[in-house]
Amino acid sequence: TKRAKSTGRVEAYQNSAFALAREQFAMETSLRRAIEDRHLRLNYQPICDLATGAITSFEALSRWTDEQGQEFSPCDFIPVAEESGLIVPLGRWAIDEAARTLAGWDRLAGGNCGVQLAVNLSAIQLQRDAIAPVLQQALSDHGLTGDRFTLELTESAIVSDPDGITETMHALKALGARLAMDDFGTGYSNLAHLQKLPIDILKIDRSFITGMLADRDKVAIVRAILSLAQALGMRTTAEGVETVELSQTLAALGCNHGQGYIYARPLEADAALAFLLHSRTSAATTSAIASTR
């Protein structure tokens, strides 16, 4: 019976592994169709200047609702896209869609709407596709300049292919784009690489920001990242800013930008533009009131 028991366990394991593989395959099939039919969407989350509160950019985040109406998190479908190679068409779509949205905002604002868009790039996508020509195409298709874009990459992209990534990063910089190191502090950062690569922005991972006010170790890490960034001439963005206290503390520590639910959750494109325009009128009203005092 001991033996039967362990056989049963192996079978249960095999069944669940099989079920998982089947689930992944089903997801891959419907994700492929969603990309072809352009059924993915981008949501846009504001990134604010911590000193002034002004929105300086938005991060574009992929969203997918399948035909059954089930909403998937990018944390679930990006890995499937990476394993299946679908990350290449998905990544191309994201750059084109972000450029289309930004050009639309400019039209509605009657000129340059004054914000940048940040688009995420995965390590596997960077290995498999030439991103600079993809961005260049999107810029010319939508009549935009490269300085309107930030590309976010993770430490794993550098670890996996330091030479290839260096070339890609310089090509993106040549187009005028900015480069951000996403989720900084969670990967295997090689600080020598960090210094050699043309990175403009360090995004401090949310895990260091959440609960920071009650955790001296987290504050120490955040301070260290901020002074590293300053020494290397990089700007900083804190992820996961969920409270006013956090935004004030981060501003006092010298962090440049904040992103998080305290400002807004990721929004649909039209809601994001409305949020931007509204934030400016209310800021103008506030300063007009202040100047009459």
Which residue is nearest to ligand C2E, using beta carbons?
A: 260
Give the nearer residue to Mg ion in terms of CB position, either 96 or 183.
183
Give the nearer residue to Mg ion in terms of CB position, either 120 or 136.
120
Give the nearer residue to ligand C2E in terms of CB position, either 236 or 259.
259
Instruction: Tell me the residue type at 235.
Output: R
One DSSP character per residue, 173-228 reads HHTT-EEEEEEETSS---HHHHHHS---EEEE-HHHHTTGGG-HHHHHHHHHHHHH
Q: Does 183 bind Mg ion (CB under 5 A)?
A: yes
Residue found under tokens 């009131």: 289
Q: Contact, 159 vs 187, CB < 8 A?
A: yes
In terms of Cβ atoms closer than 10 Å to its own Cβ (0-12, 13-18, 19+), residue 217 is: exposed
User: Least distance to ligand C2E from the beta carbon of 286, Å?
Assistant: 23
User: Least distance to ligand C2E from the beta carbon of 272, Å?
Assistant: 13
Give the nearer residue to ligand C2E in terms of CB position, either 136 or 259.
259
User: Least distance to ligand C2E from the beta carbon of 205, Å?
Assistant: 8
User: Least distance to ligand C2E from the beta carbon of 197, Å?
Assistant: 18
Instruction: Catalog residues that contact ligand C2E under the rule CB under 6 A.
Output: 45, 61-62, 73-75, 78, 94, 120-122, 125, 152, 182-183, 206, 239-242, 259-261, 266
- Considering only the stretches 21-29, 95-103, 133-141, 146-154, report the one whose residues sit in contact with Mg ion under the rule CB under 5 A: 146-154
E-strand spans in 68-115? 71-72
Cα 288 from Cα 278, distance rounded (Å): 15
C-alpha distances in Å from residue 79, one per residue of 30, 51, 75, 90, 195: 14, 36, 7, 12, 29
Give the nearer residue to Mg ion in terms of CB position, either 154 or 249.
154
Q: Does 152 bind Mg ion (CB under 5 A)?
A: yes
- Considering only the stretches 66-74, 82-90, 116-124, 245-253, report the one whose residues sit in contact with Mg ion under the rule CB under 5 A: 116-124
Residue 260 site contact among Mg ion, ligand C2E, none (CB < 5 to 8 Å, cut-off depends on kind): ligand C2E
User: Least distance to ligand C2E from the beta carbon of 63, Å?
Assistant: 7
Cα 127 from Cα 107, distance rounded (Å): 35
Q: Contact, 160 vs 125, CB < 8 A?
A: no
Distance linking the first and last C-alpha atoms of the chain:
85
Cα 60 from Cα 45, distance rounded (Å): 7
User: Least distance to ligand C2E from the beta carbon of 280, Å?
Assistant: 21
Q: Does 242 bind Mg ion (CB under 5 A)?
A: no
Q: Which residues bind Mg ion (CB under 5 A)?
A: 120, 152, 182-183
